Structures are given as C-alpha cells and as structure tokens.
Amino acid sequence: MNVIVMGQGYVGLPLAMAAVAAGHHVIGFEPDLARAGSLREGRSYVEDIPDKQLREALDSERYQPTADETQVRDFDVAVITVPTPLLDRQPDLSYVRSAVETLAAHLPAGATVILESTTHPGTTRELVVPILEAATGWTAGQDFHVGFSPERIDPGNDRWTFGNTPKIVAGLTPACQARVHEFYASITQHVVPANSLEAAELAKVFENTYRHVNIALVNELGRLAHVLDVDVWHTLELAATKPFGFTKFTPGPGVGGHCLPVDPVYLTHHARTQHGHAFRLVELAQDVNDSQPAYVVGRLQDTLNSRFQRSLSGARILALGLAYKPGTADVRESPAVAVAELLIEKGARVDIVEPHLAKVTPRDFRAIPKDLGIYDAVVLLTPHDDFDLQHVADQATYVLDTRGVMPVAPHIERL
C-alpha cells in the first residue's frame, strides 16, 4: 500500500516505521522543517525509534520524510497523527483541520483517511468528513473511506509497543471499517473493531480520563494521609494486596505529558459546550492535579520552616528530573517544570538535574552532582533510571521524594 502519515512525532514516526517494516511505501509528511531535515539525515528525535531503525527505513527506499505538501498525493491510506493541544485551556483542533485540508486537496478516489489524534467524540464525523466531502464533491463511504483508530503508544514502554498493543478500529461505514481493519492488521498484532466512530473516540479519551481521575484520587488521599500522619505509600501497598477490584495508582507532583492534562479537557469542554453536560468528577480531578505542584512546594516550604528554621526564599534546592515521566526528554505540561518554576517564583535558588535535556543554564546538570551538602533540600520529581538514588540518600541533608521510590529514613520524606 502507499501510505501517508501526517505528522512525524511521538505517534506518527513509530507508525511510519511499523508500516515500512510491513512492506508498505510510506511518506512521512512533517511540516516542521528541522524535524523533516533531521529524519532525512537519519537522526531520530523520538526515543522509541533508534537512528539505526530510521536509517534502515530510509535505505529500504520505502520511507520518504518530507515537508513538501506536493508529495501528499497518490495514497491508498493516509493517517493523521497531528497534535491536539489546548489553546487558552480549550481544545485546539486547528492542526487536525489543516492536515485534513492538505489531504483533501489531492484525495485519490477510493483512498482511506484515518484520524489517530486523540479528540472528543464526533470529530471524525463532524470535522474530518465534511472537509473531505466539500473539497472533492464526493461522498464519504462511497467514493473514499474514513475511519478513526486511537493511538495508545506509551513512550519508553518496552513491554507494550506499537506492535503488540491492541488497536481499536472504527469506520464511518462497514466498508470504511473493513479498510481501516485491513491496514492495521498488516502492521499490528491485535485489532479490536468498534461499532462506531464515536465509541472509539470516547474509548480513547476515557482511557486517559480514567488515569487522570485515579491519580487525582491518590493525590488527594496523600494530602489527607499527611494530615493524619499516615504513610500513604504503605497504605496503597496494603490496599493493592487485594487481588480483585483494586488498581494501584500512586501520588506524584501532578500529571504531565501530551495526554493526561489535555485529553480529559477535550471531553469535559465538549460535554459542557456542545451538550450542556458537566462531567463533574473529571473537572474536580483537574483541579486536584493542577494544584499538586503547589502542594509539593508547600510541603517543602513547611519542612524547611519546621525542621531547619529556614525560609524557602534564598534556600538552595536541587530538583531531580524535569521530564513528565522517567526515561523520556518530554517536558510537555510536566508538573516537575511547574514545581521548579514555583520554587524560583518563591525566591528559592534552584539547580536542576535532567539527563535527557541539553544544559540550558549554568545551573542545569546532566548528572547528579557529587556535593549535595550545599543544598538545603533535594526534591525528587522524576526518578530517571540513571539517577544514583543511593548517592542522594547518602549525601543529601534532606530529600522530599514525590514519587515514593527512595528508602525511608529520618532525612527522607515521601509525599
């Protein structure tokens, strides 16, 4: 098949590589010139795709990354993997709209267009289909096909990869679904049919909403446990011994990444503005998780006061990890960044250790410094595998561990 993947990011690049590996001819359309150039030179910016794999795809001559819109033509299948961010705290579907318009300009008869970007129910039917029909004068389901297949990629996860994670597929009509099914069956191991576009769209956004709400629940439990002087981490370990009916989530500095802080807003905003329906539990979870970085800073401030008679203003703090989760350089919506910014705002002198990012200021480190005695406190925000936490435990005066991964000790406090 001739495949076009619109957007070569965390989702689009692995998809393009999987399609090349399956024998398809793939154009990876990427309007960001720096990204397209990097791909052409065989340099990957997505951790899950090593340069070697990218170079093999280029050498096969079945993968062509490009920023040239005129290459977007003559395809059997086009998959849209563009960002669906928030703008002024509201869903921003402009990237999806623009990608569909590009495809609509050269849509071949009989082609299949699939949306993978996470969005609210109704987007494929109410946004994608009308743009394609208006530009071509054709009818979706007859002259061309349309589907939705949500992405579940978990960057850095070796156990569940693009190939072995079940893939939900939905189509506008049964014929559309058959085309979408056929494409994904050629590149993934498990395809799960959905009986409508909206069910598939809602399933994806609910998966992330479920995580968001449960994380908010344990974050709030953590605050209560602190007041009660109970160790929330131990409490959660106890609860998790129940072999049924309980899934363990753990507290942290908040939620980050492109998905959890963003996707539930697509659902709550759509529910409120289009249907006058408030999804209250989710809105409450958003409040709790949004205020978690401030809670972490408050805890640090209280401890400096009570244990060391020291104010946060002027204190030297070492923040470990800026990415939103271990093993990645992704700082989008990272609560660790919010914590660091709040600390700086309150007058703390903050040094940062983030091994996955380039050093931007003299106060950034790529590895944990030897001398930790100069810091009033160390705050562990993102526990990257390459952090020597034993060194931190041995050398730091005081540690606030927001992820519950450090040993318990008098000078180490867990959130």
Between residues 85 and 298, which has the closer beta carbon with respect to ligand NAD?
85
259 included as an active-site residue: yes
Q: How far is the CB of 288 from ligand NAD (least distance, A)?
A: 22
CB 67, min distance to ligand NAD, A: 9
- Which letter does DSSP use for residue 272 in this model? H
Catalytically annotated residue among 205, 259, 312, 380:
259
Q: Rank residues 73 and 310 by Cβ distance to ligand NAD and give the closer one.
A: 73
Q: What is the DSSP string of 338-402?
A: HHHHHHHHTT-EEEEE-TTS---STTEESS--S--TT-SEEEE-S--TT--HHHHHHH-S-EEET
Q: Quick one: 326 exposed, middle or buried, by C-beta within 10 A (0-12, 13-18, 19+)?
A: middle
Angle subtended at Cα 266 by Cα 261 and Cα 267, rounded to the nearest 5 degrees: 105
- Which residue number is nearest to ligand NAD in terms of Cβ? 9
Contact partners, residue 53, CB within 8 Å, separation at least 6: 17, 44
Of 118 and 124, the one with the shorter C-beta distance to ligand NAD is: 118
Beta strand 377-380 with 316-320 is parallel
Binding site for ligand NAD (CB under 6 A): 6-12, 29-32, 35, 81-84, 95, 98-99, 102, 117-118, 151-153, 155, 258-259
Closer residue to ligand NAD (CB): 83 or 321: 83
User: What CA–CA distance (Å, rounded) separates 396 from 307?
Assistant: 14
Least separation in angstroms between CB 82 and ligand NAD: 4
Query: Is the Cβ of residue 107 or residue 415 nearer to ligand NAD in the bound state?
Result: 107
> Among positive and negative, which fits the CA dihedral 330, 333, 339, 344?
positive
Complete DSSP assignment for 293-342:
HHHHHHHHHHHHHHHH---STT-EEEEE--SSSTT----TT-HHHHHHHH
Which residue bears the tokens 């495949």? 3
Given the complex with ligand NAD, which of 333 and 354 has the nearer CB atom?
333
Q: Please provide the size of the chain in residues.
A: 415
Minimum distance of ligand NAD from residue 43's CB (angstroms): 14
Q: What is the Cα–Cα distance from 93 to 42, expressed in whole angstroms?
A: 30
Annotated catalytic residues are 259
